[in-house]
Amino acid sequence: MDSNTNLSADKRAQILAGAAAVFAADGYEGASMARIALVAGVSKGTLYNHFDSKAALFTAYVGEKCDLYLAHVFDGTGHEGDPAEVLRGIGKRMMQMMLSDVGLAIYRVVIAEAAKFPDLARGFFESGPARAVGFMADWLAEETRRGRLAVPDPAFAAEQFFNLCQTRLVLRRKLEMLPDPPETDIEEVVEAAITMFLGTYRA
């Protein structure tokens, strides 16, 4: 477990940046704490003083990135404006997160190691996708309570929306079958997702 009670914010960021580079290059199993310490510019002793295992370090790295990205994705998600406009913001920001270099690197490491290290995969799912679905489901439930949407299963509908937004772009990008898509392509996919989603769930 991360025991970094005395770790300064700068030192923590330094260690996590080093860990990110090594995990992305070597995968989880191939990464060593010694190499992470070297890349981060800290001693192994300092590293182990604050993160007592590689699993704890990876979990802290993923958790921090998920906190940062999810706060951005759901920033300003209220119930005053048009539901389509709120969905537009969530969809675009979610796509940008998934297609970012960091988002892709984390996903690839987790997928590569999921069979051997299921706890890491579970931790990633709970820190990222499950939390996103929870935030979205809460918003959909409140919109339904207010009579603006009619969503009988908010958690199911949340997953539907996120998957609709991934059409055409995300899997191909994860497989390196296309370069970073332009903003116009992301907007086109999100608009189609909103049209289909509201066609089912608008009150």
Which of 52, 68, 83 is the last residue before a domain boundary?
Answer: 52
pLDDT at 2: 44
Within this chain, do residues 6 and 98 fall inside the same structural domain, yes or no? no
pLDDT for 155-169, tens place per residue?
A: 999 999 999 999 999
* CATH code (residue 143): 1.10.357.10
pLDDT at 7: 58
- The angle subtended at Cα 123 by Cα 24 and Cα 112, nearest 5°, is 40
Within this chain, do residues 111 and 18 fall inside the same structural domain, yes or no? no
* Total domain count, the chain: 2
pLDDT for 108-146, tens place per residue?
A: 889 988 998 898 899 899 999 999 999 999 999 999 999
pLDDT for 49-62, tens place per residue?
A: 889 889 889 988 88
Find all residues with CB under 8 Å of 14, minimum gap 6, and list them.
40, 41, 42
Within this chain, do residues 75 and 149 fall inside the same structural domain, yes or no? yes
Q: Measured between alpha carbons, how far is 143 from 79 in angstroms, rounded to an integer? A: 7
Domain encompassing residue 156: 60-201
Return the residue matching tokens 């994860």: 174
